[in-house]
Amino acid sequence: MNSVKKWYDNEDLGKDILISSRVRLARNLKDYPFSMLLNKDQARDMISEIIDIFEEGMSSGKLNYMSADNTSDIDELANFEQNNISQYFLLNKNPKGFFINESESLSIMLNEEDHIRIQSICAGDDINNAFILSDNVDNVISSKIDYAFDDDFGFLTSCPTNVGTGLRASFMLHLPMLEKSGQLKNLVQIISKFGMTVRGWHGEGTEPMGSLYQVSNQITLGKSERDIIKNLRNVTQQIIDQELKLRENILKDDNNKIDFEDKIYRSFGILSNCKKIGTRETMNLLSDVMLGNCMGFDVNKFKINIYKMMMYIQPGLLQKNLGCKLKEQERDIERAKFIKSML
């Protein structure tokens, strides 16, 4: 159907603690109030001004525009599950839309909390390329239209927590051992002192799932984009080191090792034999498989990488790929069927 390789069509995805690198830029147009205060007509005008710029040409490959009118609820949910759109955007009832490129590495939300949210994502440790992708789009827009910008406060945003660079850089990490040992909570407190924060898989306001966490900068003002990313890298490396240390410890003791091995293979066993299964349970089991896979056990027998499995078992994507709306009970049965089909 679609032959373009997605950013997550990457064999190595889910073989490492660090899953992906992403960048988000928050921008607003000077001539409109912020999204929250836009009436429907203003919102439509604002959106069409930006669409015009995109139609004049964007070098970053083909972009598809999904307006709220031609996107079904299931499509929207699926895009949220893949982090192409935010929870805020998903729930926003005003005129809105988003651009997305074919590899799904770039999306631009219009009329989110800010007028424009440019997002880019790269597999693995590749934050510089993610930044370049967003930065280029930003430059094209800002050469044609006036942003709300102040020499002192930088890019002006609806919420002062984003003002300045408007940049949120983040790494998606798989941290099962830190989570289970209870150490993650301490770590979150420590890194907040460095202006960093940890969020769940789908970002702000979402629950963690499958031990996936986004580590990102909290501070956006007074530091350059370069320094923000540099600091984030340093903090992220510390977190990864802590997770690695815990993983190594399991393998040191033979009793622990066999318990561990037993657990991850059982998890795979449940996944490949169940007749119905819920999202959360699937995520926990896939997380075990991901962990085992990362630690060198030959436990993953799925045809696609585990991160992709984690996305495809989500309710929205499951229904989207099946092409129909399902009740929860039916979804659980279809989910088990899907998992089996991936063996």
Partner 1 sequence: MLCQNCNENQATVFVHRIINGQERELHLCEECAKQFGMQLSFDELFQGFLDGFLSHNHRQSFGSENLIKTRVCDKCGFSYDDFKNSGKLGCGECYKVFHDDLLLVLKNIQGSVKHIGKVPVKNIAKVSFENKIARLENDLRRAINEEKYEDAARIRDEIKKIREAGNLNE
Q: Give CA–CA dist 35/94, Å, rounded.
A: 9
Residue 185 within binding range of partner 1, rule CB under 8 A:
no
Q: Give CA–CA dist 277/262, Å, rounded.
A: 21
Starting from the edge strand earliest in sequence, which strands make up the sheet with 106-110, in order? Answer: 63-67, 97-101, 106-110, 116-123, 18-27, 167-174, 212-217, 196-200
Q: Give CA–CA dist 63/248, Å, rounded.
A: 44
Residue 189 within binding range of partner 1, rule CB under 8 A:
no
Q: Give CA–CA dist 108/101, Å, rounded.
A: 9
The pair of structure tokens assigned to 182 is 């209870």
Q: Give me the least distance between CB of 120 and partner 1, in Å please.
A: 15
Is 28 or 242 the residue whose CB approaches partner 1 more closely? 28
Residues 22-51, one symbol each (x = binds partner 1 by CB under 8 A, - = not), give ------x-x-xxx-xx--------------
Q: Give CA–CA dist 104/82, Å, rounded.
A: 9
Is 114 or 332 the residue whose CB approaches partner 1 more closely? 114
Whether residue 228 contacts residue 167, with contact meaning beta carbons closer than 8 Å, is answered with yes
Q: Between residue 251 and residue 270, which ones bind partner 1 under the rule CB under 8 A?
A: none
Query: Which of 21, 79, 158, 305: binder of partner 1 (CB under 8 A)?
Result: 158
Is 168 or 308 the residue whose CB approaches partner 1 more closely? 168
Whether residue 233 contacts residue 127, with contact meaning beta carbons closer than 8 Å, is answered with yes
Of 95-103, 148-156, 249-257, 322-330, which part binds partner 1 (CB under 8 A)?
148-156
Residue 149 within binding range of partner 1, rule CB under 8 A:
yes
Amino acid symbol at 151? D
Is 158 or 282 the residue whose CB approaches partner 1 more closely? 158
Query: Which of 160, 253, 258, 262: binder of partner 1 (CB under 8 A)?
Result: 160
Q: Give me the least distance between CB of 135 and partner 1, in Å please.
A: 8
Residue ranges binding partner 1 (CB under 8 A): 28, 30, 32-34, 36-37, 135, 138-139, 142-156, 158-161, 163-165, 167, 195, 219-227
